[in-house]
Amino acid sequence: MFRVWYSTESFADFIIENTNLRHDNVVKNRMYESDANNPSRFHTMPDHIRKILYLDAPDLIVERDKEPIFSIEVSTEAGTGHNAFQRFARVAASVENDVPAFYIYPEGAIITRRGANPTWDRINPLIFQALESVMNIYDIPALLYYFPSDIAAFPDASAAPHIGTKGLIYDPDIVRYPGCPDGTSSEMQHMFEAINEIITSTSTHGVIAGRINLLRNLIIRSRRSFMQAQFHSKSLGRAANEMSPASATKHIPTHYLLNYLAQYETPNYSIGELLGSRESTVIYQVNAAFRGDPYPGALAAIDYLLCREGKTYEDRRYNLILAFGHVEIDEQNETISITDINGSSILDFFSAVQNSERHNLLTKNYSDLESNKISRYYMQVRYGSTYSKVKHIRVYSYFADAILFPDGSLWRDA
């Protein structure tokens, strides 16, 4: 009846044995992230799990009667700057499929920088605003619980008893639950309580209806209120657009963008209607070489924080543009320019896509395929390279209406 998909088995045991899942027969299965990462195994994932994995893979997915009922992502890193958003795309991937998502993240972690005393690096509170936006749009829970730490009891990091593990408190049962958060902590107890509510709700109302009604549940409403309060108390009056990654965005009238893209228009081709249908445009400016983490997650978060009004990218109030390079706004000519700072080129994007094509079996002959390749071939016949591109290519092309490089551009017509 229940099936737990995991990337770390001890974390699966930790969740099962600390919640009402322990009273049921639970099957555990290893989860494979993508066809690019696990070419020999990914095609054995069932379709409803692949849909969630399409954007990015969470650490755990629990399903009931072949329908996912929640997912969990756990991180132990210091949440300064855009780091807290690094795993945001997988929260989005879950919720976009109507699957409640849990995100476990430290309120703070102790970092000892060279030549300095240990200090607490605190979570960027904008993550709470991003999760709230996701809940507003999908009416599905996206809840953050703190990875237990010494931060509240020991504001002085040097005095923290768990300084050897960055101030983080791991489960005392290191044999059964290595690397797992302390299950006796109040934060984890609250999370187990919420998980039990989901199990109960899907028992009572069935899986689909049980998921949809969850935001009315008192336990979950109380967590949502807690998260809103955390955002307000930790943002200390700073406006959301002053916090990373929103602080890395520029807002322009859309006709500036269209004037810029006009360089690609010919007598036979004009830019399609989608971009022009929105008056304003948000540009996420990344001054870095072309790469993945943490930008895919940050881009997804910006979409929910600043652009989206509905369940798909078609329901955006503002265009969402990703730019690798320095963006200059030219008010005189009502356009923009992209200048190279870190050598990122549209050729990097193209070679990442070309590299993924190595996973493509579609040009093979039947006689080339051994039996163990047939099922994978058949999946690719149906889905093309949907699952065999690297993560950041999948996420960027899903979220961005256009991607701009100093030496080239990509955009959607519709």
Partner DNA sequence: GATGAACCGCGAGCTCGGTG
Partner DNA sequence: CACCGAGCTCGCGGTTCATC
Binding site for DNA (CB under 7 A): 33-34, 36-41, 56-57, 59, 74-78, 80-83, 86-87, 109, 111-114, 116, 119, 121-122, 124, 166, 236, 238, 242-245, 247-248, 286-289, 291-294, 342, 355-356, 390-392
Question: How far is Cα 208 from Cα 344, in angstroms, rounded to an integer?
Answer: 44
CB of 112 or CB of 158, closer to DNA: 112
Closest contact distance (angstroms) between CB of 218 and DNA is 31
Closest contact distance (angstroms) between CB of 249 and DNA is 9
Residue 294: asked if its preceding bond is cis (omega within 30°), the reply is yes
Please tell me what DSSP assigns to residue 412. -
Closest contact distance (angstroms) between CB of 125 and DNA is 9
Question: How far is Cα 191 from Cα 125, in angstroms, rounded to an integer?
Answer: 19
Q: How far is CA 139 from the centre of its chain?
A: 17
Closest contact distance (angstroms) between CB of 140 and DNA is 21
CB of 33 or CB of 132, closer to DNA: 33
CB of 166 or CB of 211, closer to DNA: 166
Question: How far is Cα 109 from Cα 125, in angstroms, rounded to an integer?
Answer: 14
CB of 207 or CB of 327, closer to DNA: 327
- Contact of 134 with 97, CB cutoff 8 Å: no
Strands (E), 177-298: 249-253, 280-286
- Contact of 395 with 387, CB cutoff 8 Å: no
CB of 34 or CB of 201, closer to DNA: 34
Closest contact distance (angstroms) between CB of 293 and DNA is 5
Closest contact distance (angstroms) between CB of 22 and DNA is 24
CB of 177 or CB of 202, closer to DNA: 177
CB of 243 or CB of 379, closer to DNA: 243
**Burial class of residue 372 (count of CB atoms within 10 Å of its CB; 0-12, 13-18, 19+):** exposed
CB of 237 or CB of 267, closer to DNA: 237
**Nearest by Cα to 86 from 96, 75, 97:** 75
Residue 141: asked if its preceding bond is cis (omega within 30°), the reply is no
Give the Cα-Cα-Cα angle 299, 302, 303 (nearest 5 degrees). 90
Closest contact distance (angstroms) between CB of 312 and DNA is 23
Closest contact distance (angstroms) between CB of 279 and DNA is 25
Ramachandran angles phi, psi of 83, nearest 5°:
-60, -40
CB of 119 or CB of 259, closer to DNA: 119
Closest contact distance (angstroms) between CB of 59 and DNA is 6
Please tell me what DSSP assigns to residue 381. H
Q: Euclidean distance between the first and final Cα of the chain, in Å?
A: 41
Beta bridge partners of 329: 336
Distances (CA, A) of 361 to 54, 166, 281, 352, 378: 19, 45, 39, 17, 9
Closest contact distance (angstroms) between CB of 278 and DNA is 23
| Beta strands at 319-324 and 402-405: parallel, antiparallel or unpaired | parallel
Beta bridge partners of 326: 339
- Contact of 91 with 73, CB cutoff 8 Å: yes
CB of 220 or CB of 400, closer to DNA: 400
Give the Cα-Cα-Cα angle 402, 406, 411 (nearest 5 degrees). 15
Question: How far is Cα 410 from Cα 251, in angstroms, rounded to an integer?
Answer: 19
